[in-house]
Structure 1
Amino acid sequence: MYRIPAGETFSFLRGRSLDQLCFGRHQLIMRFDEGLYVSVEGQLGVQPADSEETVVDDTRDAAATLVTALGTLVRDVVVDDDRSFSMTFEGGLRVRVIDSSDEYESFQIGHGRSVFIV
C-alpha cells in the first residue's frame, strides 16, 4: 500500500535471530531477538536453499518451511524493489515479504520505536 521508502535497507534485521513464529488466520508475525518483528498480512515468498520460490497468499501454507528457520540468524537482507524485501537465513532459506495490495497494508516492521508500514 505505502511502498518501501527509497533508500531503506532494513539492514537492522541482518544478524538477528528468528525466535518465534505466530500464525493467525490472516497474519504471520515473525519475532526476532532485540524486540524486532515483521508482521505479514500480504503475500509471502519462500525459497528453501536450491529450490524455486513459492509465493503464498495464506502464510499457513508455508508454515512447515518457515519453521526450519527458527533459531537461525538472518544472514542477508535485500530490498528487491519498492514492494518487497527478502531475508536469507542461515541454511539458505530465503523469505520474501511482498506488498501485494494497493488498498491495504501488507506488512509492518517494528524496530525499537520505529514502525515501518507498507
Structure 2
Amino acid sequence: MTSKIKGGLNIAMKVPTHLYAETVAFYRDVLKLERVPDRPEVGFLFGPNQLWIDEAPGHSQSEIWLELFAPEFATAAAQLSAAGVIRNDAIEPLGEGFRGGWFFNPAGIVHMVREPDAW
C-alpha cells in the first residue's frame, strides 16, 4: 500500500544565535512580511506557507526544514523506509502521540512527514 504524500504549510528556518536577530529583522523590516497572527513564535506569512524562524543555538549555519502531509503516517513511513529514506526522530522531539516523524532527503534536508490536523 502506498500513501499520497503532499507538501505541507510550514517551512522552518533553523538559524544560529549569532545570525538570529538580523535574520528576523530581514523578514520583518526589509521584506516587511506579515507576522503569523496569534502566535508567540516568530513566523511570517510566506505566500500560502508559513515561514518559522527558529533560533538554533547549537548550529553553525542555517538550515531549512520542510513539512509534508500524509493521510496515514504509518503507511507513509513504511513507504519511505522501503525506498531507503533515512529517518531520525531524535533530531527534535515531536511529543507523545504525535503522528509524524523526521526524514532526510538525499541532500540532507530535514522533512517532517506527518498527518495533517485535518485532511
TM-score range, shorter chain: under 0.3
More helix by share: 2
More strand by share: 1
Give the structure-1-normalised TM-score. 0.26
Give the structure-2-normalised TM-score. 0.26
Higher gyration radius (CA): 2
